[in-house]
Copies of this chain bind each other. A is one copy, B any other.
Amino acid sequence: MEFKKEILPNGLSVIGEVNKCAKSAAVGFFVEAGARDETEQINGVSHFLEHMLFKGTEKLSPFAVNQAFDKTGAQYNASTSEENTVFYAAVLPEYLAEVTELWTGLMRPALRDEDFNIEKNVIKEEIAMYKDLPSFEVMDKCRSLHFDGRPCGNSVLGSSESIDNLTVEQMRDYFANRYAPNNMVLACTGNLDWDRICSIAVGCCGNWQKQNVSRKLEHYGGSKKKSRIERSNLAREHICLMSPSVSAQDQRRFAATLLSTIVGDDMGSRFFWELVDKALAETATMQFGAMDGTGVFSSYIRCSGENVPRVLETVNNVFRDLSRSGVADDELQKSKNKILSALVIKNELPMGRLVDLGFNWIYSEQYRTVEDDINAIRAVTVDDIHSLIGQFNPGDFTQLSIGPA
């Protein structure tokens, strides 16, 4: 493993971790552009823009883009979150240069009026589709309730209205600013020729213009509001609980991950034994979401309407017991084993490794080896968990439910 780094004069970070033992390679652009960077007027633009990048450039039609990826046999995709937009591909080493060049081209899209108008309908279909997924909707709306009007609570998809009203000029303005080279990272991992990737970056991205671009960081303790939405077509109650936690830059993020595994891993956690195994709920999980400058603990529970009072009582008991009696050494150890094996297995593939490499850089401009993360997880003590609970008590939450009338 060898770490490589080159910052171009326009601010584009190019980073790589070379692993000559790997059989594949991966490359991706990490862009600091997510729903939290949007105003209400242009809500949904980051995700819409992600779609538009596949519509091609001045030189490439949408059809040609598809053909170009196909030729390399790449496994490729993109995703947009509240925080970032990521474009990635995994390929055989001999196609890495070709697919990297393709991505650099797509990062300067044509954003044609015609494609924009067609794709608007695709986005609106996607918004409609997710409305049928209460597990998604309850998380999305609970985030918004928790952040109570602050940008971190913005919905990634936007609304039918915001998408309807969005103009291609607004998208072009947003693009020009957020897709500035100094707001992006080009990362690669696996079996790769670093000099080749670097020279592609210099040749293809060297003339991109630096911009003044920033993101407002602020930690927020959450509204702690409770609310419920009725949907006549639903048979089950969907409950989301959200509370503040540490940021993606905070060393305590490893303790936060372990705590959420102890409480809400899908198997063998406190939620599992108290709610799922006892058949009070069908699903009950808790996750830690690290964000730029802040973070959240979020839980998702699905159960029958009649079980809601007992479920909420049990959840409150789990959190109360956590505050009072803390966690046991053996459950911390068990959670470490789960997190460590998931971490090692994920990072064993160049594609999985790319994600951690890119996010560590975009959040902290920091290179961390897998071993650094393993050691950080191993080092977490029961006292670390207790002090985290003391400061970020997951029992003090914002709550949103969606269920039948």
Contact = CB atoms under 8 A, between A and B. Distances in A.
A267 B24 CA distance: 21
A344 B342 CA distance: 21
B21 A21 contact: yes
A347 interface: yes
Interface in A106-143: none
- Quickly give the copy total for this chain: 2
Nearest to A74: B341
A337 B21 contact: no
A351 interface: yes
A70 to B, nearest CB: 4
Interface string A258-283: 00000000011000000000000000
Interface in A79-97: 90-92, 95
A310 interface: no
A24 B341 contact: yes
Contacts of A72: 337, 341
| Most-contacted residue by chain B among A267, A344, A349 (CB, 10 A) | A344
A17 to B, nearest CB: 14
A23 B348 contact: yes
A119 to B, nearest CB: 14
B70 A334 contact: yes
A347 B347 CA distance: 14
Given A268-B66, A345-B90, A334 B23 contact: no
Given A66-B267, A348-B349, A73 B22 contact: no
A202 interface: no
Contact of A337 (B95, B334, B338, B370): B95
Interface of A: 21-24, 66-67, 69-75, 90-92, 95, 267-268, 334, 336-342, 344-345, 347-351, 370
